[in-house]
Amino acid sequence: MQLAISHLRRAARTANALEKLHCLEVAEQKLKDAAWLRPEAVSDEFQAGLQEIQRSRVKTLQEQALPAIRRLLEAAEENAQERMAILEAAGQLLSFLNYYLPEEPEAQVLSARFRELGGKQPPYQPIRPLSEMYHRPPDAQR
């Protein structure tokens, strides 16, 4: 739980859209892991916290990631020497955008523009939950 709070604080402090999205991902998974480890401790406040992370992610995608992708694509058009490095950053943001807001019209337009510039979008990589890596502790299997 403390790890989730730490990542939420980090997300609140950063102005970098990619870093904020990553911190929100980690915080969300840490909360889900805590619920998996101690399901009896899950409360309405816990569920409200997960919903708030989801709202923050959508807001970050719409208010920070979309403009950042636009700026990155403009910079890639203007700077042929650094185009691939710029497109790599845009691709990472587009991975989040296309995963969480696939129907967003502007996301589709930006994805097409990204591909026109020669970008190759990396696949979205979710954070693996503890439940895929470990067995539940014996005292929590009740």
Per-residue pLDDT of the chain (142 residues; tens, 9 = 90+): 788 888 889 999 999 999 999 999 999 999 998 888 888 878 888 888 899 999 999 999 999 999 999 999 999 999 889 999 999 999 999 999 999 999 999 999 999 999 999 999 899 998 888 777 777 666 655 4
Which residue range(s) make up the domain with 37?
A: 2-124
Query: What is residue 80's predicted lDDT score, i.e. its pLDDT?
Result: 86
Query: What is residue 43's predicted lDDT score, i.e. its pLDDT?
Result: 83
* 141 within some domain: no
- The answer to whether residues 61 and 96 touch, using CB atoms and an 8 Å cutoff, is yes
Indicate the number of domains in the chain: 1
* 88 within some domain: yes
* 22 within some domain: yes
* 6 within some domain: yes
Query: What is residue 139's predicted lDDT score, i.e. its pLDDT?
Result: 62
In whole angstroms, what is the distance from residue 103 CA to residue 2 CA? 34
* 40 within some domain: yes
* 135 within some domain: no
